[in-house]
Amino acid sequence: MFRYCVTSSATIANSTVFKLSIRRKSASTKRKRQLASNEATEARLTSHDTSVCKTSVNNATSIDYTVHEQTDEKNTALKGKYSNLSLVSDIDELKTTNKFKLMEKLQSFSIFGSEAAESEGIQCTEDNEDKTKPSIPSVTYILNETMSLKAKAALELWKKNIIDKFGKDYFRIFCKGLLDDGKLFHSCIQNVLSHKEFEIPPRVKSAYFSVEPILNDIQNVYKLETYVTHPILRYRGIVDCIASYRDQVYVIDWKKSGKQKASLAATFDAPVQLAAYIGAINASNEYSFRIDRGLVVVAYTNGEPASVHELNNNTLQKAWEEWLRRLELFYRKSNEAN
């Protein structure tokens, strides 16, 4: 790049010498003509060299600019790369911090919502790489994953007894029948409370008649089979019913059983499930009122009058505390697995 400039400068210097030479008064006419001829030649050479110099300088400048441009692009890309890495690191750190905050304050969450948690921006975060699975776990899934060893053993024993007596195919058909009957039973209740005409399926007729007197005492219906998600603790579920029952607003969970459930304890995790739903509803701020009561209604397949178990005050608070304990256990197991 610099060679052209040096050559041009030397040529221009020589041209200047010739220009000075033609001004000497002692030079002859022949000498003058020779000088004039030389001057013209040098002028052409100078013009050519200057042009070459300019072209070369322009090319060199263009090359230099391109090199700088490419270098700048690489630097920008590197900066972007490190910036993205830094951002990912910051996000991971924030997730970890939020998880620790959540774990520290989990037991202090109120079933009526937690303004303190909302003001601190505490949220449960989860890394969901498998997009085919829901990112927010359901209440039933969490309860199944945190079931006590005693409860799991009892469930396995019940399953084993049926399989040993009737076989695996029967057990599979039996479980499917229970699920189908449960759906039909809930559909009947939904139709009644929605004031729709329907025909009661024979398979669930006895269970429906068992619960019918309770349905007659239901007044204002706010929601039926509605999805809820806790905005802070990030769990989800489907609530059977939110309605007024004997002048009080309840979250109601309909159950169907072939055995008597004379006490709330006999319904196993039903109170815990109901408390989780009430907490999610209150935290959502969807309603102008707070819900502080729940009903577990057990309809019997033999047609006997349904059992109605109420959760309020201490019973609701204890069920909520048990839910928070199970939720914390679920988080810890999930974190250890990851």
**What are the residue numbers of the active site?**
240, 253, 255
Q: What is the 3-state secondary structure (H, E, C) of the chain?
A: CHHHHHHHHHHHHHHHHHHHHCCCCCCCHHHHHHHHHHHHHHHHHHHHHHHHHHHHHHHHHHHHHHHHHHHHHHHHHHHHHHHHHHHHHHHHHHHHHHHHHHHHHHHHCCCCCCHHHHHCCCCCCCCCCCCCCCCCCEHHHHHHHCCCHHHHHHHHHHHHHHHHHHCHHHHHHHHHHHHHHHHHHHHHHHHHHCCCCCCCCHHHHHHHHHHHHHHHCEEEEEEEEEEEECCCCCCEEEEEEEEEECCEEEEEEEEEECCCCCCCHHHCCHHHHHHHHHHHHHHHCCCCCCCCEEEEEEEECCCCCCEEEEEEHHHHHHHHHHHHHHHHHHHHHHHHHC
